[in-house]
A and B are shown apart, each in its own frame.
Chain A
């Protein structure tokens, strides 16, 4: 017998289960993301991507998907935003719906961070970065990661504007 068959079957089972969960968010995930110009100076760049389960998330975040699914992520949406007049910088927003978004927040990132009160239920700025700035938070069933390809002093405030808008939208969702 193929010595990898048990793993093979287990992996297939995980994939099947991940796809079967009938998660039904209160509103479509994409509706929680900023539209063009809602955050002043930013326009959506490229099409929104969404996925559910291991395979669906792998089609958005590739090899990182398994870790998110193991920590309870059920579905996600991904959208880039270009900064007007700044071709080389870009904000990436990834929003996950999770069984326990707080757990996903606490366990997905093992690096150093600084806590950020006032955004969602918990928020932080990640510190182990080079040439980039990242903020993540969780609120209700949602976990949100925001990254900007810039380490400028203004970068964090740009992410905060995105985070506050998304947090308000989550609060107002049914």
Chain B
């Protein structure tokens, strides 16, 4: 494979400096705490949450263009050994955000997606490195970083993150990233970093299974916006993991062994339907996430999510609509599964419809504004 390491520095630097900048925005933080508190109060009023009714469908401010998806494919971006060509991946990402936004330049596209960024605002890039054999590819993330820099986001205010920095369940170094909590370069770290952790004030609720989680501070107070950059994999429980399922990495599902015994099966029972949809339907996720940039360059269509890559789909998706993204990702997985004589993953992917019912996006392909571009 080509060298996938995103060059980042590793000079020691206290995160507190960044946090002090972020703490200058108390209104934003209070907004989320208030919203969370109202939701909790609403749940208390309803008594025991019952199914989807507990989370009223609310318009999301993150989904600017429901049903619109840019799908850019380029077979020459991937070589036969699974290596990626950085320049071609960059072109794919740039083209995807241009098609999605209708902007005339890449900088204008990113500015449309992330309006009102101040000089001290941080942007999070939630990636997926839980399986280093098939992580979000660093070349894709590098293209996002370049886009953010083009609109003036300070490189050190770009936070590339997942649940774990370097452990059994996820590893940045093994996935081609360099951990960085220093004062230069984009920062790259896990919620398990000593200066990050879980936000005890911003909770995410999953009413159908009566669970409530603190969320990663990298999703709440440490950033103004989140860009979700998942990688497309099949999954034994919900059929696929792509845009919506990536938010399982924003909560402490596995951190406390005794709690994990209950939480892990509950969050996966019924193939994660509707838990996956419900988790995303929390303001901290659905309103702060401004773009879902799907990495479907190299995927797995069987033995995921922990197995090695099984196929190339040569595709980048860009959308503000995670439901549409998942519906299209499911199509790709099932085309590959059909070709391999396997049963469709769609049988297990009911969470996509559940998310559509929560008005989180468009699951019906015929209602999508699909903007396809073929390069290479």
Residues of A within 8 A of B (CB): 2-4, 7-8, 10-12, 14-16, 19, 45-47, 49, 54-55, 58-67, 78, 80, 88-90, 92, 108-112, 128-132, 134, 147, 149-152
Sorting the interface of chain B by its residue count into under 10, 10 to 19, 20 to 34 or 35 or more gives 35 or more
CA distance A132 to B307 in the complex (A): 10
Question: What separation, in Å, do the CA atoms of A67 and B237 have in the docked complex?
Answer: 8
Question: Do B264 and A7 touch (CB < 8 A)?
Answer: no
Q: What is the count of residue pairs linking A and B with beta-carbon distances less than 8 angstroms?
A: 146
Instruction: Please tell me if B265 contacts chain A, counting CB pairs below 8 Å.
Output: yes
List residues 37-77 of chain B with CB under 8 A from any CB of chain A. Answer: 48-51
Interface residues of B in 54-104 (CB under 8 A from A): 80-83
Chain A residues near B310: list those with CB within 8 A.
111, 128-130
* Chain B residues packing against A (C-beta within 8 Å): 1, 3-4, 48-51, 80-83, 130-133, 166, 168-169, 171, 174, 176, 208-210, 235-237, 241, 254, 257, 260-262, 264-266, 268-270, 298, 301-312, 340, 342
Residues in A with CB closer than 8 Å to B237 are: 63, 66
Contact call B81/A152, Cβ cutoff below 8 A: yes
- Taken together as a complex, chains A and B put the C-alpha atoms of A167 and B80 apart, in Å, by 32
Please report whether the interface of chain B is mostly helix, strand, loop or mixed according to DSSP.
Answer: loop
Contact check: which of A12, A130, A149, A151 meets B265 at CB < 8 Å?
A12
Do A60 and B168 touch (CB < 8 A)?
yes
Given contacts A66-B237, A110-B342, A151-B81, A132 and B269 within 8 Å (CB-CB): no
Q: How far is the CB of A146 from chain B (nearest CB, A)?
A: 11
Q: Within the complex, what minimum Cβ distance (angstroms) separates A156 from chain B?
A: 13
Interchain CB contact under 8 A, A64 and B307: yes
Q: Are B261 and A15 in contact (CB under 8 A)?
A: yes
CB nearest to B83 among chain A residues: A131
Shortest Cβ distance from residue B335 to the other chain A in the assembled complex, whole angstroms: 14
Residues of A within 8 A of B306 (CB): 61-64
Determine the residue in chain A with the shortest Cβ distance to B273. A4
> Known contacts A55-B261, A131-B1; is A90 also within 8 Å of B174 by CB?
yes
B236 touches A66 (CB 8 A): yes
**What residues of chain B lie closer than 8 Å to A3, measured between beta carbons?**
50-51
A15 partner, pick from B81, B209, B262, B304, beta carbons under 8 A: B262
